[in-house]
Amino acid sequence: MNVLKRWHRPELTAAPTFGRLFSLRDELDRLFDTSFGDWNRGSQQLSQWNPAVDLFEDKENLTVKVELPGLKVEDINISLNEGTLSISGERKSEEKFANAETYRAERFVGHFQRSVVLPTPVKADQVKAQYTDGVLTVTLPKTEAAKPKQIQVNVA
């Protein structure tokens, strides 16, 4: 079974003489964490957001969970095409604060789209989606060919 884990930079203990070297490494990591295409988008990047996605696999199903707090069900679109699950939608800004002066804004608004390539074939006609407490859960039953099989060994 494959397990997806969020990548974290390993913590290193640095000798005091190597402080500058690790500072340079941190700066280079920060530089390459931002893709070159993002530099061209400028302020457009601030209006887009990518909700967190988790993918789980058990013997019977693939399960995808997406954090979408504050969205209405009618603002969420789900599609399955050739082994890729796509989830898109839009979080709209609140109208009552449209003419107010903003002192701090950390919640993203605007259109989003997340696509997940599924590791095994699924039964597209049996996919179910549930949205509870701001978390979208999509359950994708595996095809019979994708389910693990128990093979019996005969003793000769």
Three-state DSSP at 91 gives strand
Does 30 or 120 have the greater pLDDT score? 120
Sign of CA dihedral 90, 110, 69, 122: positive
Contact 9, 29 (CB under 8 A): yes
Tens of pLDDT, residue by residue over 48-89, are: 678 999 999 999 999 999 999 989 999 999 999 999 999 999
- Higher per-residue pLDDT: 11 or 139: 139
Whole-number percent of the chain with pLDDT over 70: 72
pLDDT at 89: 93
Q: Is the dihedral of CA 89, 95, 98, 103 positive or negative?
A: negative
User: What mean pLDDT comes out for the span 24-31?
Assistant: 70
**Which pTM value belongs to this model?**
0.63
Residue 109 to residues 40, 50, 71, 73, 152, Cα–Cα distance (Å): 20, 10, 10, 16, 54
Please, what is the average pLDDT of the chain? 79
Report which secondary-structure segment, H or E, holds 141.
strand 135-141
Q: How confident is the model over 105-126, as pLDDT tens digits?
A: 777 888 999 999 999 999 999 9
